[in-house]
Structure 1
């Protein structure tokens, strides 16, 4: 019986929400999950997190200034509702304490990467006639260098002349 009770305590301790985490010298983050499922309250979750952040700052004689928030609603991919709150702790006379605003973030980020090949033309090149003279000069040059035989030269020459 004692072992079962001890195991239950360990499991419940593992489900506890994390405390305030220091991100930088004056920046902190508080993240909390609501395990009440459909019976939970998203607004109560948010209010509790923000209240805890304000109490943390007040215990130091300072103010909590919001930086960003992120929430995962109930039922998203079978996960618990979650609220992340990042804030700075500043002196009460700090200029940032007068006007606060959250950094705008996209609710949904869609990233799609695929290769797209596009044929782009600036002129109508389909109506452009081939330069027969330049083609014949190239073929003759290849024949003189020994790259094309006399028979290959004649075959290619006929193709160029018939093509136009």
Structure 2
């Protein structure tokens, strides 16, 4: 038995059209042929203006760019916090030979923790760099990449230097 285009289908077509969904995507979502959607859209006075679709696509790209920039800021903040933690006091906890809990404040974290924090900072910076590559049209991206590359090298050297001569005693 053939299916008919119901009032609910018309309402859904109107809503998807108002949301800026393309004709082909509406057909896919509703399970109708593109020609059927075109005929009913014309009957309802709806058009699929390419300029409107282009404007919606451009707006979506702007929204995505904004989200990437927010994520970049979070990644830089994570890198900064990790770096700060490598240079701040550290509470070392453990157990004595009698099984009692002990705690001691150190001027900076032991080498293993410093190495882990440095790796976290480098990972965040690498992700920042990858996100920056998504926005290659932006000004200053090449300078940011260069700066991040230099910072990554410096962090690697610091981690390697801190790892020397430490037996990871806790």
TM-score where L is the length of structure 1:
0.21
Q: Which of the pair is proportionally richer in helix?
A: 2
TM-score where L is the length of structure 2:
0.21
Q: Which of the pair is proportionally richer in strand?
A: 1
